[in-house]
Amino acid sequence: MTRRRDERGVVLALTALMIVAIATLVALVIDLGQLRSDRRTNKAVADVAARAGIARLPFGPWAGVCTARRYLLDSAVGFSAFDAGTETWSNAAVPAVVTGTNPCTNTLAPDANPCLPNTPSSWAKLQATAGGGKFTIEIQSGYAMPDARFPEDTGRADVGDPAAGSCDNLAVIVTQRRATLFAPVGGFLSGTSKVRSVGRLNAVETLDFVAALQLLELHKCGVLQTGGSNTRVIAQPFGTYPGTIQIDSADDSGSCPQPLINGQATSGGPSILACSANSTNPDCTAGTGARQSRIGVYALNFARPPGDIATAYPSTYGDAPALASPRTGRKYADKRYRANVAALDAQVKGIVTGNSGQPPGCPASGSYNSCTGNGLTWVVARQTDCNNLTAFFAVAGRLTAQNVWFACDLNVNIPVALTALSSYVVVTGQLRVTSTFAIADARKVYIGGQSSGSKIGLDVSGGAFSVNLASVASCALRTGAGHSTRMVIGNGSYKVGSGGAIHLCQTFVELASGWDKVPATDGVPPCQTAACSNYTGTISISSGSTVDWSAPNEITGRLPTASELATTNQFEDLALWTEAGGNTNGITGNGTTTMAGTFFMPNADAFNLAGGGSLPVYLSAQFIATTMNVTGGATVNLVPNPLDSIPTSIYKTLLVR
User: From CA 546, how far away is CA 551, in angstroms rounded?
Assistant: 17
Task: Give Cα 401 distance to the centre of its chain.
Answer: 41
339: in domain? no
Predicted confidence band of residue 186 (pLDDT cuts 50, 70, 90): very low
Residue 342 or residue 483, greater confidence: 342
Predicted confidence band of residue 52 (pLDDT cuts 50, 70, 90): confident
The overall pTM is greater than 0.85: no
Does residue 149 carry a pLDDT above 70?
Answer: yes
Task: Tell me what percent of the residues of the chain surpass a pLDDT of 90.
Answer: 45
335: in domain? no
User: From CA 73, how far away is CA 485, in angstroms rounded?
Assistant: 58
**According to the model, what pLDDT value does residue 555 have?**
92
Strands (E), 397-441: 403-407, 410-412, 416-418, 423-427, 431-433, 436-439
**According to the model, what pLDDT value does residue 632 have?**
80
Least confident of 353-362, 365-374, 477-486: 477-486
Model confidence pLDDT, tens digit, residues 55-69:
788 778 998 899 899
Domain span at 483? 345-597
Does residue 163 carry a pLDDT above 60?
Answer: yes
Predicted confidence band of residue 553 (pLDDT cuts 50, 70, 90): very high
**According to the model, what pLDDT value does residue 386 have?**
96
Same structural domain for residues 313 and 365? no
CA distances from 315 to 113, 117, 152, 231, 274 (A): 33, 39, 54, 11, 10
Same structural domain for residues 458 and 522? yes
Model confidence pLDDT, tens digit, residues 270-327:
788 888 877 777 788 776 666 778 888 888 877 677 778 887 665 555 556 678 887 8
Same structural domain for residues 223 and 124? no
Mean pLDDT value of segment 614-626:
85
Same structural domain for residues 56 and 137? yes
Asked if 466 and 503 touch (Cβ cutoff 8 Å), the reply is yes
Residue 247 or residue 4, greater confidence: 247
456: in domain? yes
Same structural domain for residues 93 and 225? no
Residue 592 or residue 505, greater confidence: 505
**According to the model, what pLDDT value does residue 588 have?**
85
Does residue 359 carry a pLDDT above 50?
Answer: yes
Q: What is the DSSP string of 244-307?
A: EEEE------TT--S-SEEPPP-SSS-SEEE--TT---TTSPP--S-PPPEEEEGGGGGT--HH
Least confident of 22-26, 366-370, 582-586: 22-26
Does residue 398 carry a pLDDT above 60?
Answer: yes
Mean pLDDT value of segment 609-622:
79
Same structural domain for residues 293 and 435? no
Same structural domain for residues 285 and 392? no
430: in domain? yes
Helices 8-55 and 61-75: crossing angle in degrees, nearest 10, is: 130
Asked if 475 and 502 touch (Cβ cutoff 8 Å), the reply is no
Least confident of 211-215, 316-320, 455-459: 316-320
Q: Which residues pair with 576 in a beta bridge?
A: 509, 599
Task: Tell me what percent of the residues of the chain surpass a pLDDT of 70.
Answer: 86
Q: What's the mean pLDDT when you consider all of the chain?
A: 86
**According to the model, what pLDDT value does residue 294 have?**
80
Residue 656's CB is within 10 A of a number of other CB atoms, namely 17
Same structural domain for residues 361 and 474? yes
Residue 635 or residue 623, greater confidence: 623
24: in domain? yes
Mean pLDDT value of segment 498-512:
95
**According to the model, what pLDDT value does residue 648 have?**
75
Triad 125, 161, 248: Cα angle to 5°: 75
Does residue 397 carry a pLDDT above 90?
Answer: yes
Does residue 451 carry a pLDDT above 60?
Answer: yes
**According to the model, what pLDDT value does residue 537 have?**
96
User: From CA 609, how far away is CA 615, in angstroms rounded?
Assistant: 14
Same structural domain for residues 428 and 357? yes
Same structural domain for residues 113 and 227? no
Residue 292's CB is within 10 A of a number of other CB atoms, namely 17
Mean pLDDT value of segment 47-58:
84
1: in domain? no
Same structural domain for residues 493 and 549? yes
94: in domain? yes
Last residue within a domain, chosen from 555, 581, 597: 597
Number of domains in the chain: 3
Q: What is the DSSP string of 582-639?
A: BS--EEE--TTEEEEEEEEETTBTTEEEE--SSS-EEEEEEEEES-EEEESSSEEEE-
Specify which of 2-6, 146-150, 166-170, 423-427 reaches the highest per-range mean pLDDT. Answer: 423-427
Does residue 251 carry a pLDDT above 90?
Answer: no
Same structural domain for residues 585 and 610? no
Mean pLDDT value of segment 481-493:
93
Mean pLDDT value of segment 218-226:
90
**According to the model, what pLDDT value does residue 313 have?**
65
Mean pLDDT value of segment 362-380:
95
Mean pLDDT value of segment 150-165:
84
Q: Which residues pair with 204 in a beta bridge?
A: 650
CA distances from 533 to 244, 438, 530, 654 (A): 28, 32, 5, 41
Mean pLDDT value of segment 79-91:
91
Asked if 632 and 231 touch (Cβ cutoff 8 Å), the reply is yes
Predicted confidence band of residue 187 (pLDDT cuts 50, 70, 90): very low
447: in domain? yes
Model confidence pLDDT, tens digit, residues 520-552:
988 888 998 889 999 999 999 988 889 999 999
